[in-house]
Amino acid sequence: MPEITMLEAIREALFEEMQRDPAVVTLGEDVGVYGGAFKVTEGLLAKFGPERVIDTPISETAIVGAACGMSYLGLRPVAEMQFIDFIACCFNQVTNFIAKSHYRWGAPVPMVLRGPSGAGVHGGPFHSANPEMYFVHTPGLKVVYPSTAYDAKGLLKSAIRDNNPVLFFEHKFLYRRVKEDVPSEEYTVPIGKAAVRREGRDLTILSYAAAAHTSLEAAQQLAKEGIEAEVIDLRTLLPLDREAIVRSVKKTNKLLVVHEDTRTGGIAAEIAAIVCEDAFEHLDGPIARVTALDTPTPYAPPLEERFLPSTERVAATARELAQY
């Protein structure tokens, strides 16, 4: 199995799905001639031509609206946001048309809306967003946010084949930093299933995307102190793997949720409610959370570092919870 980056794994998924199914097309700003802002789509134009790899105007609303229309006509478009922050421009298209079409008149919308998200690369307040919770709150969508190269490839392939609209978040900090052995042979990863990244007995740490790596680093620190944390990577935020969450909390009896999204209204709050509904009697301590601060993402590196959940903050919170 070759070792490749997350970015390369996403590119492989696009190549393989476009080769497998002629209905799959990709569109977005600079996805063709330039190969994408981060070079995710490099080589697609030469392989599949301009009818299937479509450079668009700088209009997120037009990109998403066109992709929606394509899906109505039997295509499987993969639309790229150059930065996921600008999905805000097409919020109406996503929430009032794409998410509701199947419910309103039985029209499946087999499209993927993908793009780079997250902070840690000093992109400032307009190029570092984690807007996943706007869409987790929207029935009719699926929301995927992988943390590994293997999962990124397998989940993107599943997303492209899904008859529902899928929002696929790609943490840009991980694009070239995460490397992994990824099978050359065909495989997919199911949407809606979490992954246990580390077994533990003393507390559960739930996370996803870049924060999953932060959580694993904290768990390794804690292990040196005799505290064994179970780390679960959610991978999919909608649908959420409720069974995996409850099962782990019943095992460890304590829960810490870590995410890079801002604190108020983040997925940690929904997970806390789920645990209170389904596993309250198993809790031996308060549900804790380590998140980004409730501010826009700062540009200055020291401020961005303070804004994001760090290994030290996760370890300190987990330590307190384990001793509760």
Active-site positions? 127
- Where in 121-272 does DSSP place strands (E)? 142-144, 166-171, 179-181, 195-198, 203-207, 229-233, 236-238, 255-262
Q: Is 238 buried (19+), middle (13-18) or exposed (0-12) by CB count in 10 A?
A: buried
Q: Is the dihedral of CA 65, 60, 189, 271 positive or negative?
A: negative
Q: In angstroms, rounded to a whole number, what is the distance separating the alpha carbons of residues 318 and 305? A: 19
- Element holding 61 (H helix, E strand): helix 60-72
- Which candidate, 282, 281, 283, 290, places its Cα nearest to that of 312? 290
Structure tokens at 192: 């809606």
Do 153 and 12 form a contact (C-beta atoms < 8 A)?
A: yes
Q: What is the DSSP string of 121-143?
A: S---TTS----HHHHHTSTT-EE
Q: In angstroms, rounded to a whole number, what is the distance separating the alpha carbons of residues 28 and 52? A: 11
Cα 228 to its chain centre, rounded Å, is: 26
Compute the C-alpha angle 71/22/41, nearest 5°: 85
Per-residue buried b or exposed e for 142-178, using 16+ beta carbons within 10 Å of the residue's own CB: bbbbbbbbbbbbbbbbbbbbbebbbbbbbbbbbbeeb
- Measured CA to CA in angstroms, residue 302 lies from 121, 129, 299 at distances of 12, 18, 9
